[in-house]
Amino acid sequence: MFKKILIANRGEIACRVIKTARKMGIATVAVYSEADKDALHVDLADEAVCIGPAASKESYLVMDKIIDACKLTGAEAVHPGYGFLSENAEFSRRLEEEGVKFIGPKHYSVGKMGDKIESKKLALEARVNTIPGHNEAISGPDEAVKIAQGIGYPVMIKASAGGGGKGLRVAFNDQEAHEGFSSCVNEAKNAFGDDRVFIEKYVLEPRHIEIQVLGDSFGNYVYLNERDCSIQRRHQKVIEEAPSPFVDPAMRKAMGEQAVALARAVQYESAGTVEFVVGADKSFYFLEMNTRLQVEHPVTELITGVDLVELMIRVAAGEKLPLTQDEVQLNGWAMECRINAEDPFRGFLPSTGRLIKFQPPKEIPGQVRVDTGVYEGGEISMFYDSMISKLIVHGATREEAIARMRNALNAFVIRGISSSIPFQAALMQHPRFQSGDFNTGFIAEEYPKGFDASMVPHDDPALLVSVAAYVYRAYTDRGASVFGQLQGHERIVSDKWCVVRLHRRGNEKHMVVARPIKGGYHVEYKGENYEICSDWKLGESLFNGTCNGEEFTLQVERRRTRYVLFHWGAHASFMVMSARAAELLALMPEKLPPDLSRYLLSPMPGLLREVAVKVGQNVKAGEKLAIIEAMKMENVLRADQDCKVKKVAAVAGDSLSVDQVIIEFE
């Protein structure tokens, strides 16, 4: 067994590998860019080596620097994680030449299966079901349009070295094919250093189901059941689960055997994933093989009891797989939410900055798990992927897993940046998701105009009103115990209050009676009684308690005179006051926001890649204005209406802050 390994990655996955290595008694080496000098993986590793500036192409993608770090530290093996160089055949080959083990498949397997075009040819030879398409690299956007016309729209334009939704577009017409090709090439070049792109038919109403495979150097292979990754937004996975609610035992066996046949065809050693697109009739077609550990590997670990990182290390060290196909378990149901640094209420734009508070839910072995690479006080950078944590739960049934995920999302405290939690909480409550009747188009179909706060259901408003009254009384009673101590002038706190829920469309008034009881407060609201008991302390973000004996968890944030409650993804803002004060509040004039319609503002921090218009140019609604790159993704900004450009305030190459002016219109 290795004595020391280097992790050629960052963030959550680097921390994940370090955790298993430590369990196995293996020393670890972290590599980091200048932007990551204070990152969690650097702190957790036994040694750390700086490998260059923030940009990936100058640090995490530079093979020479990682190989030099191996020589400097004496690392015997390298775990590549996912992304960066994890599916780069040359990197694997060079490590082997240097006498350093690559904790992953051999370079020839990476070359054959990591290349989406080559892997599809091999799949055909191995008699694996494949999708019709053009399997050769495409020279330019005009050729892409011609090929797309020949296959028939819609088509999927995909980077050969792509993964994680990077370098992928779906085109429904010639214009989208032309633009999509250019965007895919740019993203692929920046993210993977490989700008080859190919095109295949896009299967309508598909499910994305993948099979986890393992192989060793002795010719042993197993498949570890399937993962359903159909809940996606812009081709990036949002929620993953194992097993799939769509797959039956016969289908699982057929897909698993095809996945193993493909792995066997290239003498695959290590963990890998064979991805399939599945139609409504349960027909399935090979998409690609990921020759690395997947982001969503924890759901497989929870239903099988297997540590995939450990098996990758053991196989790389020359050991046999410790289990046969008959010994593979399928125990209960697991689900994962990718907690991303993005604002679901602003079109999922990247959200960067400092984590003022970061308090994940308590981990419970076999029930709740949190994989993360960040910490409270750390900074979320614009240079890397938006995922900051993975929240994984396990239950005996799918229904129990969903309920457990809802509770865990309630208890996940993040402040300082926006996160995807409200959106994922809404998905957990969506009837269609709960029924298991969905496909990769689910989010686009259910949220065609985007996502806003009104789409976060909350079926217990009385709980929110009662807790708002509790929190206000707790602060008020504390104040009364500190001030008003002069005899005969003590402050008397009333039991009658008006709880005002603040809405843009108009405030709601709720009259309550809130009086202290042992361990909490008794609230009377609309003729009903609610006993709220909790050991919550003033200023704490997490509020754990019971309402009439039923346990609940929500989050509380005090913002001057307002109290914001977070529960099941809903953000509810309250003010608590006397009935007379509520009457006066209703008379206060509304302050209207300034008119910014004549400006194109940067919706996120990022790098301005292109300004597509000039001063004096007339622009039609829908035309491209600019392209901003943030968190390894290109974002195209388009005109909302017909207009004329008065001034261009930023140029390509500028680093933009949120709401920075890019273009002014007449």
CA distance 639 to 621: 5
All residues at 6 or more sequence positions from 99 whose CB lies less than 8 Å from its CB, including other chains = none
Element (H, E) at 69: helix 63-73
**Cα angle 419, 425, 429; round to 5:** 160
For 291-356, strand residue ranges (E) read 333-340, 342-343, 349-350, 353-354
Q: Which long-range contacts (CB under 8 A, 24 or more apart) does 508-515 make?
A: 509/582, 510/465, 511/579, 512/465, 512/466, 512/469, 514/469, 514/470, 514/472, 514/473
Q: What are the phi and psi torsion angles at 483 (to 5°)?
A: -105, 165
Do residues 351 and 419 touch, judged by C-beta distance below 8 A?
yes
Q: Is 288 a catalytic residue?
A: yes
Do residues 281 and 206 touch, judged by C-beta distance below 8 A?
no
DSSP conformation letters of 105-161: S-HHHHHHHHSHHHHHHHHHHTT--B--EE-S---SHHHHHHHHHHH-SSEEEEEEE
Q: What are the phi and psi torsion angles at 491 (to 5°)?
A: -80, 130
Phi-psi region of 548 (alpha: psi -120 to 50; beta: other; left: phi over 0): left
**Cα angle 266, 271, 274; round to 5:** 65
Q: DSSP letter at 456? A: S
Whose structure tokens read 């709220």?
A: 532
CA distance 360 to 12: 14
CA distance 633 to 581: 49
CA distance 271 to 82: 12
Exposure pattern of 146-173 as b/e (b: 16+ CB <10 Å)? Answer: ebbeebeebbbbbbbbbbbebbbbbbee
Cα–Cα distances in Å, from 492 out to 345, 476, 482, 484, 489?
42, 10, 13, 9, 9
- Catalytic residue, from 275, 288, 342, 629: name it: 288
- Strand, coil or helix: what is 298? helix
CA distance 522 to 583: 25
Cα–Cα distances in Å, from 245 out to 208, 402, 436, 441, 458?
12, 13, 6, 16, 25
Active site residues: 288
